[in-house]
Amino acid sequence: MLKNQFIRVTKKFTFDMAHALYGYDGPCKNIHGHTYVLYVTLKGKVLEDTNHPKNGMVIDFTDFKRIVNEQVISIFDHSLVLNLNSPHAQLKELNANFEKINYVPYQPSCENLIIDFLNRINLKLPSNVIVNSLKLEETPTSFAEWFLEDNL
């Protein structure tokens, strides 16, 4: 068996979220929702320690799932995401009628969301693994991707 090899491990997450694109010149300027699919691929070397319970793993999938759920899914699932600089932030009726609104300091496009998710996940990853790629599907035919190799 080849030792000391990099391996990529991936988990798939699904969540529902609404957003509006402030100042956009199309229908997505209105509040609307999507069922998002997020693929997170981590890269690291397999632990080679026969005395360790995580022997043979890059990361325990249970830990992987917990990190992404805590940093992304629990925050964004069934929420309304709006640009903090939009006039929506001033609408008292909006804030009074929705329990879970996330005002973000960016336009909540698929591209910007994926960068936000990357930063959130990176905060909690163990030092022996890195994010290799993210894919965020906004619809079954539209998605954004981030790759480590493009950003070195």
Q: Is pLDDT at 91 greater than 80 in this prediction? A: no
How far, in Å, CA of 41 to CA of 133, rounded?
A: 5
**In the chain, pLDDT over 90 holds for what percent of residues?**
80
Reported confidence tier of residue 98, pLDDT bands at 50, 70, 90: confident
How far, in Å, CA of 112 to CA of 84, rounded?
A: 14
Residue 39 lies in a domain: yes
Number of domains in the chain: 1
Q: Is pLDDT at 3 greater than 70 in this prediction? A: yes
Catalytic residues: 28, 78, 138
Q: Is pLDDT at 1 greater than 60 in this prediction? A: no
How far, in Å, CA of 24 to CA of 20, rounded?
A: 9
Residue 1 lies in a domain: no
Reported confidence tier of residue 88, pLDDT bands at 50, 70, 90: confident
User: Which domain, by its residues, includes 103?
Assistant: 6-151
How far, in Å, CA of 125 to CA of 146, rounded?
A: 17
Residue 77 lies in a domain: yes
For residue 129, what are the CA distances in angstroms to 19, 58, 117? 31, 7, 16
Per the CB < 8 A criterion, the answer to whether 115 and 109 are in contact is: no
The three-class DSSP label of residue 125 is coil
Nearest to 113 by CA among 26, 42, 44, 13: 13
CATH number of the domain where residue 29 is located: 3.30.479.10
Q: What's residue 2's pLDDT?
A: 61
Its pTM stands at 0.93
Reported confidence tier of residue 5, pLDDT bands at 50, 70, 90: confident
Which stretch of DSSP H or E encloses residue 138?
A: strand 129-139
